[in-house]
């Protein structure tokens, strides 16, 4: 059983990948640039506030827009343990799983938690514990859980193509 416990940073609906990592930082051979600008479009100071193990909570359609995988990488490398949202845009969803960043789609999460709350996520069951009670969500299909547990699609490929 994989349980993650972390402090919440809260965002709204339709957080797009341009605000997660503006395009001007993408053309860089130095990948450490990306987490330094994570979510800069909404909060220019965010990269200095987030601590390893924190959890991002958002409304509907998180990660909409561009397919830039740097959005998932910036969040992961900034230290976020997971993203919990009302819903995710599909390309971001795939990118996050492919890079081993856990996502939980939990209806009602926006109302149930506030910034700074501590929540607990059970990745196997999809359950989220908040101070206002527990939320249930559908767990990922088994093969997606396997990709996640492998640490991403690259490792999954290596494990299945020896």
Partner 1 sequence: MGSTAVEKIISSALGRKVSEGEFVEAPVDFAYFHDGTGPLVIDALDEMGVDRINDKEKVGIVFDHSVPPYNDQGATLQAKVRRFARAQGIPRFHDLGDGICHQVIPEKGYVAPGQIVFGADSHTCTLGAFGIFSTGVGATDLAYILATGKTWMKVPETLMVECAGVLDDRVSSKDLILEIVRVIGTDGATYKALEFAGGAVRAMSQASRMTMSNMAVEMGAKTGFIEADDKTAVFLNRPDGKRFKTDRPVPKIEVDAGRLEPQVACPGSVANVKPISEVEGVHIDQAFLGSCTNGRYEDLYEAARLLRHRKIHRDTRMIVIPASKETYIDAQRDGLLDVFLEAGAIIGVTGCGPCLGVHMGVIGENEVCISTSNRNFIGRMGARSSSVYLASPQAVAASAIEGKITDPRRV
Residues in contact with partner 1 by CB under 8 A are 14, 16, 18-19, 22-24, 26-30, 41-42, 44, 60-61, 64-70, 72, 87, 89-91, 94-95, 98-99, 141, 143, 152-154, 157-158, 161
**Facing residues of 62 across strands?**
88
Residue 89 to residue 14: CA distance in whole angstroms: 9
Of residues 134 and 154, the one with the C-beta less far from partner 1: 154
Of residues 1 and 24, the one with the C-beta less far from partner 1: 24
Q: Residue 39 CB, nearest distance to partner 1 (Å)?
A: 11
Phi-psi group of 42: left, alpha or beta (phi > 0 → left; psi -120 to 50 → alpha; rest → beta): alpha
Q: Residue 99 CB, nearest distance to partner 1 (Å)?
A: 7
Of residues 52 and 142, the one with the C-beta less far from partner 1: 142
- Nearest by Cα to 25 from 16, 15, 33: 33
Q: Parallel, antiparallel, or unpaired for β 82-85 and 103-105?
A: parallel
């Amino acid at each position: 059983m994989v349980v993650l416990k972390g402090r919440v940073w809260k965002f709204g609906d339709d957080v797009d990948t341009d605000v997660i990592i503006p395009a001007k930082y993408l053309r860089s051979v130095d990948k450490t640039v990306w987490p330094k600008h994570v979510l800069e479009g909404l909060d220019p100071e965010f990269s200095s506030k987030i601590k390893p193990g924190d959890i991002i909570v958002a409304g509907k359609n998180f990660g909409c827009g561009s397919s830039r995988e740097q959005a998932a990488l910036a969040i992961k490398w900034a230290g976020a343990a997971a993203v919990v949202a009302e819903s995710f845009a599909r390309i971001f969803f795939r990118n996050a799983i492919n890079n081993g960043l856990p996502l939980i789609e939990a209806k009602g999460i926006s109302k149930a938690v506030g910034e700074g709350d501590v929540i607990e996520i059970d990745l196997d069951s999809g359950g989220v514990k908040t101070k206002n009670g527990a939320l249930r969500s559908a767990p990922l299909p088994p093969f997606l859980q396997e990709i996640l547990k492998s640490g991403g699609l690259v490792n999954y490929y290596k494990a299945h193509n020896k």
